[in-house]
A and B are shown apart, each in its own frame.
Chain A
Amino acid sequence: MLLIDCPYCGKRPEIEFSYGGEAHVARPADPQALSDDAWAAYLYLRSNPKGRHAERWRHTHGCARFFNAVRDTVSDFFVTTYKVGETPPAEAWPRAAE
């Protein structure tokens, strides 16, 4: 079981949390203007990386708040967790530094 560092409550066991999928997938501002391919990409394409992955978690059985995390999908090691609206530390996530 993973130990997850909720930015509001501290470290808690994984069973207190719900997984919320990939983070930073922004809903297009004007869906009507999108092509079918672009809309399908927003709905269904995820990065699914073998490596660092930015993802949402919700501390369902704690503070009930959503937050973000960067986790390595090979080792399941949490690089960092951060609040919604924040950007992850550049060193935590190579894509953020680009």
Chain B
Amino acid sequence: MQSFSILSLLRRAFGGHASWQPQWRDAAPKAAYDAVIIGGGGHGLGTAYYLASEYGMRNIAVLERGWIGGGNTGRNTTIIRSNYLFDESAALYDHALKLWEGLSRTLNYNVMYSPRGVMMLAHNVHDVQVFKRHVHANRANGVDNEWLSAEQARAFCPPLNISPDLRYPVLGAALQRRGGTARHDAVAWGYARAADALGVDIVQNCEVTGIDRGPDGAVTGVQTTRGAIRAPKVGIVAAGHTSVVMGMAGLRVPLESFPLQALVSEPVKPVFPCVVMSNTVHAYISQSDKGELVIGAGTDAFVSYSQRGGLHIPAHTLDAICELFPMFRRMRMLRNWGGIVDTTPDRSPIIAKTPVPGLYVNCGWGTGGFKATPGSAHVFAHTMAQDAPHPINAPFTLERFRDGQMIDEAAAAAVAH
């Protein structure tokens, strides 16, 4: 791997930037690996990286149906925060946040993590009570989160309209200062490059079509559009397509897949200092370093794999944005897209072993998986390498739905479900 530093940049600048190598090999699949990961998004690539770097498993492959970073990793609104209500979630998401803080250095790749603050707006008495409860629960768990009055919220984010005349006036806000954004593509590319340097094969345009099992029921490998691959351990990190892949092993999972939409505006000069989210009027907004407003909209109501959704969904979000930030009323939107998110009944992920020996699954991130990428990958790598969950992901089992041990974060995820 060619290390990035000011010296390496200067040296190659004088050489006309002719000597840069591709950041990862375009590997062809081998006949057998020690482990195979299905899904080349951030969570899957990160899992491969931690398997190689922390658990010494270097004869492994990541199989990606399309191209690296072309799925939900490149479709989300890049928001990072960890102010979840329950102990289990706080531990998981804050584990991720701590990894975010050092990730650029760990990977020698600038993931542009920017802790600019994530502010969640309260618009009614219920919001105020719920967010204050979150603030206290978070502080008890060592997770930073603080309550702001409406005036303090506007001081933190000057474009915010706190007029009492709004249909849903801003009554206050919860602010996590360590929250913020990162460059989503760079996360996928950084993990891919670092994993490749440790010997991991990243195989693109390779769709898994079947999961092979031996006479004892254990996993023996996968069938793909680029041939059969033997592997005693298979990790499924397939986001919206998890139900489809798990079905290949004869397993049903408590997931439904919905399109979640996002959109970006034309690029403008820096005008928006932080991330603002509102569950109640349903808007997320931040500004990318390129200058575009990055806006998260909602999910369509129905199960779909179409990677697009109804226009009335983002239109509803833009109504809310224009009300909260009147200066954006004449802004033009450039692009709008959808990604397929897999949601669980309790809106918490599943990071676990499955009833099939050798088969592991990391899914159910729903509308908010990007923020957890490093933590999710790290504990899932532990689960695959040790054949046992890390203490942090031990509660996030498949069986919790049967056993009634749900981690009911439906209210903490910001998208209306």
Residue numbers of A with Cβ under 8 A of B are: 1-2, 14-15, 18-19, 22, 36-37, 39-41, 43-50, 53, 55, 71, 73-76
A15 to B310: give the CA distance in the assembly, Å: 10
In the assembled complex, 21 residue pairs joining A and B whose CB atoms fall closer than 8 Å, in A order, are A14-B310, A18-B301, A19-B301, A22-B303, A36-B403, A37-B402, A41-B252, A43-B401, A44-B401, A45-B252, A45-B254, A46-B255, A47-B252, A48-B255, A48-B256, A49-B243, A55-B302, A73-B257, A73-B303, A74-B306, A76-B306
The secondary structure that dominates the B interface is loop
Report chain A residues within 8 Å CB of B132: none
B401 and A40 contact, CB distance less than 8 A: yes
Q: Give the shortest distance, in Å, between A72 (CB) and chain B (any CB).
A: 9
Residues of A within 8 A of B199 (CB): none
Q: How many A-B residue pairs have CB under 8 A?
A: 58
Q: Are A55 and B303 in contact (CB under 8 A)?
A: yes
The answer to whether A50 and B254 touch (CB under 8 A), given A15-B312, A76-B304, is no
Mostly, the A contact residues are mixed
Which chain A positions have C-beta within 8 A of B18?
Answer: none
B327 on the interface (CB 8 Å rule)? no
8 extra A-B contacts, CB within 8 A, seeds A40-B254, A44-B401: A1-B310, A14-B310, A15-B312, A36-B402, A48-B255, A48-B256, A71-B302, A73-B257
**Are A45 and B253 touching (Cβ within 8 A)?**
yes
Contacts of B306 in A (CB 8 A): 73-76
Minimum C-beta distance from A80 to chain B (A):
16
Q: Given A37-B402, A55-B302, are A48 and B310 neighbors across the interface (CB < 8 Å)?
A: no
Chain B 312-342: CB-based contact to A (< 8 A → 1; otherwise 0): 1000000000000000000000000000000
Q: Which chain A residue lies CB-closest to B241?
A: A50
Q: How distant is the Cα of A19 from the Cα of B310 in the complex, in angstroms? A: 14
List the 8 closest pairs (A to B, CB-CB), nearest first: A40-B402, A19-B301, A44-B254, A48-B243, A19-B302, A1-B310, A44-B401, A45-B252
Size category, B interface: 20 to 34
- Please name all residues of chain B whose beta carbon is closer than 8 Å to the beta carbon of A1 when the two chains form the complex: 310-312
In Å, the complex CA distance between A51 and B241 comes to 12
B267 at the interface (CB under 8 A from A): no
Instruction: Name B's A-contacting residues (CB within 8 A).
Output: 241, 243-244, 252-257, 301-306, 310-312, 345, 401-403
Q: A41: shortest Cβ distance to chain B, in Å?
A: 7
Chain B residues, CB < 8 A from A74: 304-306
In the bound assembly, the distance between CA atoms of A75 and B241 in angstroms comes to 15
Beyond A1-B310, A1-B312, A41-B252, whether A50 also contacts B305 by CB under 8 A is: yes
Which chain B residue shows the least CB distance to A18?
A: B301
Provided the pairs A44-B401, A45-B252, A48-B255 are in contact, do residues A53 and B303 lie with their beta carbons within 8 angstroms? yes
Question: CB-CB < 8 A to A15: which residues of B?
Answer: 312
Q: Which of A2, A47, A71 touches B310 (beta carbons < 8 Å)? A: A2
Residues of A within 8 A of B310 (CB): 1-2, 14
Contacts of B311 in A (CB 8 A): 1
**Chain A contacts for B255, CB-based, 8 A:** 46, 48
Chain B contacts for A44, CB-based, 8 A: 254, 345, 401
| Cα(A74)–Cα(B257), bound, Å | 11
Instruction: Give bound CA distance, A42 to B256, whole Å.
Output: 14
Contacts of A76 in B (CB 8 A): 302, 304, 306
B residues within 8 A CB of A14? 310, 312
**Cα-based distance from A14 to B253 in the complex (angstroms):** 28
Complex contacts, B305 vs chain A, CB 8 Å: 50, 73-74
Give CA–CA (A76, B338) in the complex, Å: 14
CB distance from A66 to the nearest CB of B (A): 15
User: Bound state CA distance, A46 and B255, in angstroms?
Assistant: 7
**In the complex, A51 Cα to B304 Cα: how many Å?**
9
Query: Chain B's nearest CB lies how many Å from the CB of A54?
Result: 11
Q: How far in angstroms is the closest Cβ of chain B from A52?
A: 11
